[in-house]
Amino acid sequence: MLTEEAVREVLRSVKYPGYSRDIVSFGLVKEIAAGNGAVSVTIQMTSANPEAAQQIKSNAEAVIRALGEVTSVFVQVNQPTIASSGGGAPQAAQQPKVSGIQRVIAIASGKGGVGKSTVSVNLACALKQLGARVGLLDCDIYGPSIPLMMGIHEKPTISPEEKMVPPSSHGIRVMSMGLLLEGDQPVIWRGPMIQKTIQQFIHSVDWGELDYLLVDLPPGTGDAQLSLCQLVPLDGGVIVTTPQEASLGVVRKGIAMFEKVNVPRLGIVENMSYFTTPHGERVEIFGHGGGRKEAQRQQIPFLGEVPIFTEIREGGDSGVPVVVSNPSGVAAQAFLGVGRALQERFAPA
């Protein structure tokens, strides 16, 4: 039977050009009418890219015609003006600001193993020490590590307004899927469930008044990253890399992702920059300077380098980040330097 729901379901096979996400989960399908063999669909683009609009229109018409009982198809694609759009992909600029939060900053990396979560927790603590009100959202739904690194074990409470109240640690409000799971329970979800969870973490959590909400993204450029960019207006993204070319090559994809979804690139942090032996010898295990060179090549700020310190790893394992345990130490000062550089990006001109 030809129904609106049947039309919606086949439209889920229409991908946004260049992305793995479909136009339904992106929220672009606004109206569907179906009856007596006729189907009418209205799609609202957030981009003025005419090529993307034409491809979506053609693909949508094709999948609808493949349904039984269809005699006529009308697909209307509405687009904003080029001046108001400014990009080629679904963007978050039209989403309202989250009440009480001044800045939302994504911490991303193109690949795993570069210490992105370590940078996230220490940067959050550094901004706190610099006088800011800070929240930390763990968007790694499949592998949440922020609760361990921040030393949080209690679950969120529920406010009278039926919002989740995130627990605090070291003066940072923290929300993570890891706070809602029992033990080592795995998360086995598809993309739409991830999108729904991230939406709840943003809009159904009582974050209070924050100067910065740092969002620790999972590695890569998948559903979690795209969902966040679609659901909340990001004020910028920070890219974490290690110096070697193997990391930098993938990091470029993360930088390109921010470009495509019109998120300002706030800068690059080079983690695991070098190691100093007890005898004072400097050892560049992964090379050195690749992050700074990539920042220059991309014409974006270089926020700083963080050397390898045993106490950084120990702080993550113990739940007391090094910026908290030894704020005057060399390791903590590296993160504080990144925090100052980030604050300067938002300083009045």
Domain end residue (candidates: 31, 51, 85)? 85
More confident residue, 270 or 247: 270
- Do 203 and 299 reside in the same domain of the chain? yes
163 and 310 share a domain? yes
Q: Tell me if 55 is assigned to some domain.
A: yes
Q: Count how many domains the chain has.
A: 2
Per-residue pLDDT at 232 exceeds 50? yes
Look at 56-70, 124-138, 239-253, 300-314 and tell me which has the smallest mean pLDDT: 239-253
207 and 295 both lie in a single domain: yes
Is the domain of 55 the same as that of 158? no
Q: Does 255 lie in the same domain as 129?
A: yes
Calpha distance 234→261 (Å, rounded) = 10
pLDDT of residue 93: 41
Q: Looking at the structure, tell me whether residues 80 and 147 fall in a common domain.
A: no
Range of the domain at 217: 101-345
Q: Are residues 171 and 51 in the same domain?
A: no
Indicate whether 161 belongs to any domain. yes
Instruction: List Cβ neighbours of 113 (8 Å cut-off, separation of 6 or more).
Output: none
pLDDT digits 0-9 by tens, 272-312: 887 777 777 777 777 777 788 888 888 889 999 998 888 99
Task: Clarify whether residues 199 and 66 are in a common domain.
Answer: no
Decide if 241 is inside a domain: yes
In a domain, 334, yes or no: yes
pTM of the model: 0.70
CATH, residue 138: 3.40.50.300
Same domain, 140 and 273: yes
Rounded to 5 degrees, φ, ψ at 62 are -65, -45
DSSP 271-312: EEEEEE-TTS-EE-BTBSSHHHHHHHHHT--EEEEEEE-HHH
Predicted confidence band at 112 (pLDDT cuts at 50, 70, 90)? confident
Q: Clarify whether residues 43 and 162 are in a common domain.
A: no
Query: Does residue 93 lie in a domain region?
Result: no
Based on the fold, state whether residues 115 and 12 are members of the same structural domain.
no
- Output the six-digit token pair for 5: 């729901």
Q: What is the CATH number of the domain that holds 30?
A: 3.30.300.130
Residue 96 lies in a domain: no
Among the ranges given (100-114, 129-143, 183-197, 235-249), the one the predictor scored with the smallest mean pLDDT: 183-197
- Domain boundary among the residues 26, 52, 85 is at 85
* Mean pLDDT along residues 186-195: 57
Structure tokens at 95: 């989403």
Q: 337 to each of 24, 215, 243, 300, 334, how far by Cα in Å? A: 42, 19, 18, 17, 5
> Does 305 map to a domain?
yes
Residues 153 and 242 in one domain: yes
Residue 91 lies in a domain: no
Q: How do beta strands 164-165 and 29-35 pair?
A: unpaired
